[in-house]
Structure 1
Amino acid sequence: MTTPYPSSHVPPAPSVPTRREKAGARITLTLASLAMIGPFTIDTVFPAFTRIGAEFGSDAVALQQLVSAYLAAFAIMSIFHGPLSDALGRKKVMIGGLVIYLIGMLGSVLAPTLGSLVLMRVLQGMSAGAATIVSRVVIRDMFSGSEAQRLMAQVMMIFSVAPAVAPIFGGWLLLLGDWRWVFGGVGAYALLVLVAATRLPETLPPEARNPLRVGALLGSLWHVGRSPVMLRIAAASACGFASQFVFIAGASLLVVRLLGLGEQDFWVLFVPLIIGMMSGAFVVGRAADLMDRSRLISLGFLGTLAATVLNLVLVSFAPPFTGGLSWSLLLAVTGPMLIAFTVALLFAPIQLEVLDLFPHERGAAASLGTFFGLVLNALLAGVVAPMVTASLSTLALASLGFAVLGAILWTWHVRTVRAPQDA
């Protein structure tokens, strides 16, 4: 850990030895594959919506429940996956979650009605976080310092490709047959990930685990959740990421209504976003041995502030849209790409900051940190995005607002931490 927290905030780390000095390709790909379960579960299904609706006679509103039911279940259970891994061990929770997830996928293939399919999506949402959330904890269990940051950045770089690859994968599966092939294909992917996960070492030995009792699990969540330091960092992380995610949450309105493009043109926005995310994650990995983690996060927030301001300038003075590829379109997607790059600079390091706050309760810290982000993302998608997509300028202002709020929270955290040392 690079930021020196007061002893009242951080208990001594458990005596869990670092398993390896360097992360090999197998471990990196396995952890990235575990993290990709979440976006694959959401985005791969999108191309199948038309066929699902045709078979069950369902409209777009009913089909949207396939997404919202999954996300709601994921958000609720995200609170518990981490504490369970603190009590049972990381590997048992990840493997158990994947087994339940596979049952949900098999149930989806066999679903006779839309209602039963939605129930299977709930089961998938309840279990997917076991892989996505706990895999981050495994990174910090196995590695420390610059190697932990480097591995987190590499996993994020691979993970960032998932939202773009998943719909393409889903479209290919539809060439084989009806919509059930999509769920079967994602299930096959999860089965491969399950096999790979069985080869991971258990990173939390029995002597370092918390008691498996309801009171102990809720107590760990309460201990982590009432920490002012945790709340500041988690809120800063959520707001920083929101400055990028607001473009994703409002993508349907941004691409079709504001940019005047068609339903097949979402790549115009998502390809630059993915390029920005991957480039930023690459820089984070390279900077692991060169820069203090806290300083890198600060640089990420400063960069995000600059990128959101530049984006506002670009869209405010861009020429009128004439349709198709143009300078106006290029200026409109350049800002989000730069914002994605700068957000990636802070995202992986700030995840490690959250985990290092509670060495004995890393699972609970990962769960609550994820829950903060999920709640804000849900608000962005359901409430904020429809309100701020009246124009490119209002969308840019919203992105700037989240960047400012995140930077304020992070600055508050850094100054609070340094104050006792300067006294």
Structure 2
Amino acid sequence: MHPDAASLWRGPRWTLAVLLACLGMLGPFAIDTYLPAFTGIAGSLQATPVQMQQTLSSYLFGFAAMNLFHGALADSFGRRRVVLWGVGLFTLASVGCAVAPSIGALVFFRTLQGLASGAGTVVSRAIIRDLFPPAEAQRVMSQVTIFFGVAPAIAPLIGGWLFVHLDWHAIFWFLAGVGTLLWAGVFRFLPETLHISQVQRFAPRPLLAGYKQMAASPVFMTLVLASGIPFNGMFLYVLAAPVFLGEHLQLAPTQFFWFFVCTIGGIMGGAWLSGRLAGRIKPRHQIRHGFVIMLAVSLVNVALNAFFEPQAWWALPPIAIFAFGWSLMVPVVTLMVLDQVPERRGMASSMQACIGAVANGVVAGVVAPLVMHSTLALALTSLTMMGVGVLAWIWVKPRLVPPAESATPASS
């Protein structure tokens, strides 16, 4: 934690949460806003479905690959500088997408967007822990999650409206405008939170040594699994949404929003409660509550899908409750991950984000296509992913060392 943290951010805590959430929202916005325009872009640029898929996969590849370096750069050159460069490159890449004359050019600029957009997500976690002790950091992380949860809901609506009323180019001009405003906000308001005593040298050998240290730490890697793998138990349903909602639940496309309302409502509700509980109960107890909720609802979900024909009225609430349990515990586990390497929190955030991105890619490209055609298979797979998280937490819990900056829980 920065020794002068109290004087670095003098505004209300929620305003910092909004700024950091906006940084984290760049990634989802760059994906979700342009998806409604897939067919329009393909027709305009005479692109095949495979080429259009490359505009998504190239972005995800760039996002995952660069996640390994955003945090290390932030540990060496400062949080603020890396965020400004990342947002600036994202803005320029968005302009490139807007004026792209061919599908090849669009794929190139989408790759640049992916390389740049992760800076906000990765570095914002380190900034929170730079500025706040554990309980306060948990509250801010929860607020960020609440604001962040709005992005998947409004991004497709904005993208669809821009595509229908203007054209697909307007979507990327919109992203460029968002990037410009966010760059100005970071330049004007975000302080540098990396203390000079924590600056790390950026060189290949110490960089590789740092990643090797984290990869070789069973506690660090198991904590990453405990926070990331259960997310895929929920993300699986998002990836399978067209089949799950359209074929299994017989919902019209205009009714798909109910699924996203339930999921996002669960995430925001759990994040709100996580912030309320910060400092009131022990972090480990809060994590346990989250896993108990996810385990119970996952078992119920499997039983319902095993014995009944899927119906929307009972199939959607378990996903919302699962999301609630996940967002209740994940801010706490994320802070524990960062505290495993306090001298390299940026790099730790990078490692966590990269592993999460790889796991998401595996679920998207391998797991979801295999199980999406059966609601029971979806429920069992979701339970299995959550079970990995539970086992990881059971193993790592007795091996955790309490952080030096623990706050004494207040009485409830």
State how far apart, in whole Å, the 2-side matches of 1:14 and 1:188 are: 32
Structure 2 match to 1:260: 250
Q: Which runs of 5+ in 1 are unaligned?
A: 1-12, 322-327, 419-423
Residue 194 of structure 2, aligned match among 194, 204, 210: 204
In the alignment, which residue of structure 2 is the partner of 1:113? 102
RMSD: 1.8
Partner SS, residue 372 of structure 1: helix
Residue 172 in 1 paired to residue 161 in 2? yes
| 1:20-78 Cα distance to aligned partner (Å, 9 max, x none) | 58853321211111111110010000111121111112232321211111001100110
Q: 1:274 aligns with which of 264, 273, 285?
A: 264
Which residue pairs with 2:356 in the alignment? 373
Cα distance in 1 for partners of 2:27, 2:270 equals: 21
Moved more, 235-244 or 374-383: 235-244
Partner of 2:372: 389
Map 1:130-145; keep pairs closer than 5 Å. 130-145=119-134
Quote the residue 1:41 is aligned against.
30
Tell me, yes or no, if the aligned pair for 2:122 and 2:350 is still in contact at 8 Å. Answer: yes
* Residue 86 (structure 1) shift: 0.4
CA deviation after TM superposition for structure 1 residue 16, in Å: 6.1
Q: 1:233 aligns with which of 223, 227, 231?
A: 223
Question: Helix, strand or coil for the counterpart of 1:289?
Answer: coil
Partner of 2:317: 334
Taking a change above 3 Å as real, the CA distance of residues 140 and 22 of structure 1, as seen in their structure-2 partners, is farther
Q: 2:13 touches 2:140 (CA, 8 Å); kept in 1?
A: no
| Rounded Cα–Cα distance in structure 1 between residues aligned with 2:208 and 2:198 | 18
After superposing the two structures, state which structure 1 stretch, 88-97 or 232-241, moved more. 232-241
Query: Does the 8 A contact of 2:14 with 2:140 survive in 1?
Result: no
Counterpart-to-counterpart distance in 2, 1:176 and 1:30: 29
Inter-CA distance 404–21: structure 2 relative to 1 (3 Å threshold): farther
| Contact 1:21–1:143 (Cα < 8 Å) also in 2 | no
Task: Return the match for 1:65 from 54, 61, 69.
Answer: 54
Structure 2 counterparts to residues 11-410 of structure 1, below 5 A? 17-18=5-6, 19=8, 23-198=12-187, 199-318=189-308, 320=309, 328-410=311-393
The one-letter code sitting in structure 2 at the alignment partner of 1:288 is A
Rate the CA distance shift 1:271–1:17 in 2: closer, same or farther, 3 A: closer
Structure 1 residue 239 displacement after superposition: 1.5
Q: TM-score, normalised by structure 1?
A: 0.91
The one-letter code sitting in structure 1 at the alignment partner of 2:267 is M
Q: What amino acid maps onto 2:18 in structure 1? A: L
Is the Cα–Cα contact under 8 Å of residues 23 and 151 in structure 1 kept in the other structure? no
**What is the CA-CA distance between 1:131 and the residue it aligns to?**
1.1
Alignment partners' CA distance in 1, 2:14 and 2:318? 33
- State the aligned residue count: 400
Asked if the contact 2:97/2:110 (under 8 Å) is kept, the reply is yes
The answer to whether the 8 Å contact 1:94/1:131 transfers is yes
Q: Is the 8 A contact 1:240 1:301 kept in 2?
A: no
CA deviation string 1:377-415 (max 9, x = no partner): 111111111111232111111111111111011010012
TM-superposed CA distance for 1:123, in Å, is 0.3
Deviation of the 1:333 alpha carbon = 0.6
The letter for the 1-side match of 2:201 is P
Shift of 1:82: 0.5
- Structure 2: distance between partners of 1:48 and 1:259: 25
Over the matched positions of the two proteins, sequence identity in percent amounts to 36
CA displacement at 1:270 relative to structure 2:
1.3
TM-score by length of 2: 0.93
Q: How far apart are the structure 2 equivalents of 1:14 and 1:30? A: 19
Ranges of 4+ aligned residues in structure 1 off by more than 3 Å: 13-23, 262-265
What is residue 9 of structure 1 aligned with on the other side? none
- Contact 1:86/1:363 (8 A) holds in 2: yes
Q: CA deviation at 1:190?
A: 1.2
Aligned 8 A contact 2:287 2:333 in 1: yes
Sort the Cα spacing of 1:129 and 1:90 in 2 relative to 1 into closer, same or farther, 3 A.
same
**CA deviation string 1:81-116 (max 9, x = no partner):** 001100001000000111111110111111100110
Conserved? CA contact 2:240–2:368, under 8 Å: yes
1:5 alignment partner in structure 2 = none
Q: Retained in 1: the 8 A contact 2:2–2:195?
A: no
Q: Deviations over 1:245-304 (max 9, x none)?
A: 111121122112222223343213211101111111111011012111122112211211
Stretches of structure 2 that go unaligned for 5 or more consecutive residues are 402-412
